[in-house]
Amino acid sequence: MATASSSSTSADATTTADADVVSRLRLSYAPQTTRHREREYGTILEFFAARLATTSGGSLYVCGAPGTGKTLHVERARDAAVGESKRAVVVSLRGTAFGSGDAFARAVGAGACPKLSWSGLGAKEALARLAERCGAPKAGEKRKRDDKVVKIVVVDEIDSLVAVAGDALRRVFRIASAPGSRLALVGIANAADVPRRAFFGDDAAYAEDGDRVVTVVFRPYGHAQLVDIVAQRAGEAVFARPALEFCARKVAATTGDARRALDVCRRALAIRDADGAGAPVTLAQAARAVRETLGGAAAGPLSACLLYTSDAADEGLGVDLGGRRSIKKKRGGGGGGGGGGGG
């Protein structure tokens, strides 16, 4: 017969274990390894590594729905390839931070060439100086820059710049895309058509630059991938398998957003604890968590979800981006990333 002391110790251990699971299901938690994004991660890593190896510019566009791991895998590839290397200067910007092309151009210049003064410059002057320092050299021109250092500008939510700083963004892209440039541009956004709208606009003269934009597409997660992502964080015993399958299928059928799957599962754990149950999360508790977290169409009856097969969500097919290079992911998922979320 268990004593009161041993019962208390057991309860404390369970509480500690549950708290640890909840912390691993939070968006702030970053697993050491991620799953189902190996192909995408590999392409991004290759882009960064090539910039250092050749000390050359170029353009990379990473797109996909929210919660598919775009930003996470760009950051991990950047850190893996660049690290503390003195052969590269990395500038990380967020498009929503700028309200004008002038501000954006100055930020790019200040990040790429911090020893120069950029205060008070308009976009035209700032980008002219940026091209002089980092752009392709002109015939017979003596450069005022270090040819052994590449400047890599990473802009998250780059689509927000189209309306407020479209011309400046287009000019930064042209500097980065020119052969011999020492400036690289990496854009991250949800929409697949940002390169056409932001980089080329209506100017057919630059349409051929599309061939120099490496594009990586992050597809929404399928239900099997979401099950694996949650299980990687929470372990196999926290959720009854039907409960975890239910949550994953509902999220895959609506958004394929790993962050939403984590939200649902945290809520399911809270419901289980409120019910006073120490056993794995049940299907009924999972269904309630889905209703409370997702609502709307996702809160249909149990039978609808249990019979649903997310073929479209599970197929990792690339998308056609109007002739620009696209990455296609085979069924079954790739690598470098599945820890979930991140943009």
Signed CA dihedral, 230, 232, 233, 237: sign only: positive
Question: Per-residue pLDDT for 281 more than 50?
Answer: yes
Contact 317, 218 (CB under 8 A): no
Q: Which residues pair with 92 in a beta bridge?
A: 154
- Both ends of the chain: CA-CA distance in Å? 51
Which alpha helices (DSSP H) does the chain contain, by range? Answer: 4-24, 38-54, 70-81, 101-112, 123-134, 161-177, 194, 223-234, 241-254, 258-274, 283-293, 302-306, 311-314
Question: What's the predicted TM-score (pTM) here?
Answer: 0.79
Query: CA 237, CA 39: separation in Å to the nearest integer?
Result: 30
Contact 86, 220 (CB under 8 A): no
Q: Nearest Cα to 78, choosing from 64, 89, 68? A: 89
Least trusted range by pLDDT, from 176-190, 193-207, 249-263: 193-207
Question: Per-residue pLDDT for 27 more than 70?
Answer: yes
Query: CA 335, CA 62: separation in Å to the nearest integer?
Result: 16
Query: CA 67, CA 9: separation in Å to the nearest integer?
Result: 38
Q: Nearest Cα to 164, choosing from 201, 198, 131? A: 198
The two three-digit tokens of residue 254, written as one number: 């609506």
Better pLDDT: 327 or 111: 111
What's the whole-number mean pLDDT along residues 179-195? 89
Least trusted range by pLDDT, from 7-21, 54-68, 282-296: 7-21
Note the pLDDT of residue 8.
37
Note the pLDDT of residue 317.
33
Band of pLDDT at residue 278, cut at 50, 70 and 90:
confident
Contact 128, 92 (CB under 8 A): no
Count of H helices and E strands in the chain?
A: 13, 5
Q: How does pLDDT run across 232-271, given as a tens digit for each residue?
A: 999 989 999 999 999 999 999 999 999 999 999 999 999 9
Q: Nearest Cα to 73, choosing from 337, 252, 261, 334? A: 337
E-only strand ranges, 79-133 = 88-94
**To the nearest whole percent, how much of the chain has pLDDT over 90?**
62
